[in-house]
């Protein structure tokens, strides 16, 4: 058999070369179905919405462990070269390389390395729609109910039993128009937005810190206002995503945001919210994954936190303990320079291989 690093390169390049933006995951799922069948594993489809379905294989009706990764990538207007994988300096570059086709490759390689897996209490699922509404993982527990799960995401091989929550808000701010040469006569809605953002920095939940997540905060995802004319802008719209730390009350966070927006004369609409979670560091799935990491890589695992929503939240919310783990850096995901180190892909495969065998031992 070829060295693992070379197989990781070939597998990941193949995965990246199959575009799978949210809503158009079918071609990748066809490939993954054939890939599982080539390993002697017979998967099935779980309908999710319309003609979209999760792809699942189960080695037991009640698996001890589920390995899962999402098949979709973020939907952006990509130049063609982002769907053509490029290998440079030990990394694979291209859309979805880190988020999360590196994780998919690690699962496939781990399965390839453990042919006895078909007799073990393990399951594998490739979900749809993670980058949009998480519809795939929302229904996944109806088809497979494991004792625990590992959700593959780019964590730089940190074991993440903690996930930050989020609150997405759209905010409208009104101003008073005036000729731009007489801006003192108007009220600039964009300047009011700047003042509001400064006020957000002072909110208690934004200034709080968590030992694994770090500080709270927010991301201004979009801002719109003004026109190409010598005119004081009379309207500004903000789309803001607030980080919510484990232990913070979502309702209290919402009320604080709404209070500050109202105090600045704005109107807010809650677009989405996701709850944070934190498993105990000694939870069985964390302990097993740390053991597998040490066996495979010969060093202690690092603990961390994932600062973005993942499919794990939908599993934890129904009582399935889930940790997030995988190769790649979250910071480069969704960017035009997305890439992942092949060594991390190979190392992740070694850890998952060890984990599968630990779960299967008597």
Average pLDDT over residues 293-313: 98
Distance in angstroms (rounded) separating the CA atoms of residues 67 and 143: 14
Residue range 243-295, pLDDT digits in tens: 999 999 999 999 999 999 999 999 999 999 999 999 999 999 999 999 999 99
Instruction: Look at residue 40 in the predicted model and tell me its pLDDT.
Output: 96
Q: How crowded is the C-beta side of 141, counted as CA atoms within 13 Å? A: 17
> How buried is 78 (Cβ within 10 angstroms: 0-12 exposed, 13-18 middle, 19+ buried)?
middle
Q: How confident is the model at residue 335 (pLDDT cuts 50, 70, 90)?
A: very high
Per DSSP, the three-state class of 106 is: helix
Find, among 173, 198, 167, the residue nearest to 187 by Cα. 173
Check pLDDT > 90 for residue 82.
no
Residue range 140-198, pLDDT digits in tens: 999 999 999 999 999 999 999 999 999 999 999 999 999 999 999 999 999 999 999 99
Instruction: Look at residue 6 in the predicted model and tell me its pLDDT.
Output: 97
Find, among 126, 112, 106, 137, the residue nearest to 56 by Cα. 126
- Strand arrangement of the beta sheet that strand 235-244 belongs to: 217-225, 235-244, 165-174, 266-274
Instruction: Look at residue 174 in the predicted model and tell me its pLDDT.
Output: 96
């Amino acid at each position: 058999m070829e060295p693992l690093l070379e197989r990781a390169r070939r597998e990941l390049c193949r995965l990246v070369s199959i575009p799978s933006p949210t809503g158009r995951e079918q071609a990748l799922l066809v490939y993954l179905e054939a890939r599982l069948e080539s390993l002697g594993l017979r998967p099935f489809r779980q309908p999710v919405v319309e003609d979209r379905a999760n792809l699942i294989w189960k080695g037991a009706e009640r698996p001890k462990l589920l390995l899962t990764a999402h098949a979709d990538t973020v939907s952006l207007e990509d130049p063609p070269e982002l769907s053509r994988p490029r290998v440079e300096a030990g990394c694979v570059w291209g859309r979805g390389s880190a988020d999360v086709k590196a994780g998919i490759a690690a699962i496939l390689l781990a399965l390839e390395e453990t042919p006895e897996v078909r007799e073990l209490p393990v399951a594998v699922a490739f979900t749809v729609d993670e980058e949009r509404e998480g519809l795939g993982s929302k229904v996944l527990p109806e088809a497979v109910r494991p004792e625990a799960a590992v959700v593959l995401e780019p964590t730089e091989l940190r074991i993440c039993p903690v996930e930050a929550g989020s609150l997405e808000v759209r905010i409208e701010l009104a101003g008073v128009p005036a000729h731009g040469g007489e801006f003192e006569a108007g009220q600039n809605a964009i300047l009011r937005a700047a003042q509001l953002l400064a006020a957000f920095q002072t909110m208690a939940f934004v200034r709080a810190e968590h030992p694994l997540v770090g500080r709270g905060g927010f991301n201004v995802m979009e801002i719109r206002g003004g026109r190409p004319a010598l005119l004081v802008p009379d309207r500004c719209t903000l789309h803001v995503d607030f980080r919510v730390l484990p232990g913070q009350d979502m309702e209290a966070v919402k009320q604080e945001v709404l209070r500050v927006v109202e105090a600045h004369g704005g109107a807010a609409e809650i677009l989405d919210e996701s709850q944070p979670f934190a498993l105990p560091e000694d939870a069985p799935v964390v302990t097993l994954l740390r053991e597998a990491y040490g066996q495979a890589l010969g060093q202690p695992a690092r603990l961390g936190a994932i600062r973005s929503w993942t499919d794990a939240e939908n599993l934890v919310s129904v009582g399935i303990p889930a940790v997030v783990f995988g190769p790649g850096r979250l910071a480069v995901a969704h960017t035009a320079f997305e890439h992942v180190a092949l060594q991390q892909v190979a190392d992740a495969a070694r850890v998952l291989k060890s984990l599968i065998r630990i779960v299967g031992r008597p």
